[in-house]
Chain A
Amino acid sequence: MAIKRTDGRSLTELRPMIAKVGVIPNADGSAIFSFGDTVAIAAVYGPKQLHPQHMQDPATGILRCTYDLLSFSVHDRKKPGPSRRSQEISKVTEWALSPALDLQGFPNQVVDVQIYVIQADAGTRTAGINAASMALAHAGLPMKDLICSVACGKLDKDIVVDLNKDEEDFKDGEGATDFPLAKFATSDEFTLMQLDGKIQPERVKEVIEAATEACKEIYEVQKKALKEVVKH
């Protein structure tokens, strides 16, 4: 009954993942993460003194994320510079990552995370969050856990994980629903939950279960990449 996905994957199969840490020597922490043709790169700078001063918080350090698509990442050139979409994603990325970070020890300071999508094929924010989580760990910041992120969705009536661009544009039957999620790697705490499309409320549970399973796979990939730092 299951519809065949365009790239022949099963419903719960993720695209092949590649992760590498320490790709930007100048940064304090960096990582690259890809879901198939979606490639995101993240760099962490800091903790450093926060300017402008009115943004400083004397109680804790703050996290500042920047997400953007590079001009050549999509078929029709993306006009460089911040857009409504990229600012929104920067903000939700910040909210997705900050619960895992503990910046109490860095008052008045900021940790800057910059995420750039080199190649886009749907699921860019989730790839960006995965890369940023690895980069933050690589920067040696105090963290409760790693963050894993994946976009689930619904194609007509089937719940699937990790949609690609063709699937996102799926029009038959009930159409496509995009449901990006992010969660703590070792607990069931979710830090990002967005919904674009329609889904029956009772089916959300199925989505969450599928995402939890997928995140386990992502966590293994992230962990392996981080542990390879030492081997050289």
Chain B
Amino acid sequence: MKNKINKVQEAEDTEEIEDTEEIEEAEENEAKTYVSEEVKKRKVVVPGEVIVTGEDYLPSDGTKRVGKDILANRFGLAEEAGRVIRVLPITGAFMPRRGNTVLGRVTDITFHGWLVDIDSATSGFLPIEESPRFISKNEMDQFLAIGDVVAAKIMGVKAKGIDLTLKSKGLGKLENGFTFKVSPNRVPRVIGKEGSMINMIKEKTGCSISVGQNGWIWISGENIDNEIKARKAIDFITEKVHMEGLTDKVEEMLNGN
């Protein structure tokens, strides 16, 4: 433990030294400081582009180290979180990951469970043991029939396919209401910081809304007007993802109508 603290302190010390050096050399090294400031603001990078140079940084998702440079491995937004550099996706198809909550549609019933289309390369499989209560193999279609929409959690992603589970809070069959799709890359913005955006929409419209990481959204409300209002708010968010103060704008919009 003590060692760790010392190490951290050492690291901080060296950082400080570097900082002062940087100030002294700022005029000479204008280009370099410019780059590091840009990263803090997040910048768009293309594959193969150098994000930062230096041994201090750690490459994370979507990046790799080549010599002293950290290069982007994919197109996206480069972000610096402390020393960790990662590239966040802004376009492209949904890439399933363990722990994602997704919405899907049941496409087939087998002896051991349900096949669920979750809009990824391989379809999801929901084993019968992963349903929240005991279900006899004879009455599987009474619990989930073909065409039903279900919210499930990804248990694991394997070469053979994706395993789903319903054993968690807020998962299960989604009845009534309607589903529609948005780009999976816009989902974080629809949810907002710690759910701020989606909770606000739920509160203002009185609808129940479920958002899957794969971009499927399910809305169910007391009347169709509220449902349409909620959908319009979500469509507005997906169109204006890069706008600042979006939560306030959406709130204004929902209060106005």
Contact = CB atoms under 8 A, between A and B. Distances in A.
A6 B179 CA distance: 57
Interface in A129-148: 137-146
Contact of A222 (B44, B46, B74): B46
Given A146-B48, A185-B48, A223-B46, A138 B121 contact: no
Contacts of A144: 47-48, 73
Contacts of A229: 44, 90-91
Interface string B88-131: 01111101000000000000000000000000011000000000
B159 A58 contact: yes
Contacts of A232: 240, 242
B76 interface: yes
Give chain A's interface secondary structure class: loop
A190 interface: no
B90 A139 contact: no
A223 B44 CA distance: 10
A139 B91 contact: yes
A186 B95 CA distance: 27
Contacts of A48: 121
A140 B93 contact: yes
Contacts of B46: 137, 146, 222-223, 226-227
A227 B242 CA distance: 13
A137 B121 contact: no
A57 to B, nearest CB: 11
Contacts, number: 82
A64 B242 CA distance: 33
B93 A143 contact: no
A145 B91 contact: no
B187 to A, nearest CB: 14
Given A137-B75, A144-B48, A146-B47, A230 B121 contact: no
Counting chain B CB atoms within 10 Å of each CB, which of A107, A140, A231 scores highest? A140
Nearest to B92: A140
Contact of B47 (A28, A58, A100, A230): A100
B31 to A, nearest CB: 17
Contact of A46 (B44, B73, B74, B121): B121
Interface residues of A, number: 35
Nearest to A139: B92
Contacts of A46: 93, 121
A145 B121 CA distance: 24
Contact of A142 (B49, B74, B122, B159): B74
B186 to A, nearest CB: 12
A61 to B, nearest CB: 9
Contacts of B49: 186, 223
Contact of A107 (B47, B74, B159): B159
A143 B73 contact: yes
Nearest to A30: B91
Nearest to A28: B93
A35 interface: no
Given A49-B121, A49-B122, A143-B74, A230 B92 contact: no
A227 B44 contact: yes
A140 B91 contact: yes
A47 interface: yes
B121 A109 contact: yes
Interface in A51-86: 58
Contacts of B77: 230
A179 to B, nearest CB: 24
B158 to A, nearest CB: 10
Interface string A184-196: 1110000000000
6 contacts: A102-B73, A137-B46, A140-B95, A145-B47, A222-B46, A223-B46
Interface of B: 44, 46-49, 62, 73-77, 89-93, 95, 121-122, 159, 185, 240, 242
Given A137-B75, A140-B95, 17 more contacts: A22-B91, A29-B91, A46-B121, A49-B121, A139-B93, A140-B93, A140-B185, A141-B92, A143-B47, A143-B73, A144-B73, A145-B48, A184-B48, A186-B49, A222-B46, A226-B75, A230-B90
- Considering the complex of A and B, which 5 residue pairs feature the smallest CB-CB distances, nearest first? A140-B92, A145-B48, A143-B47, A137-B75, A28-B93
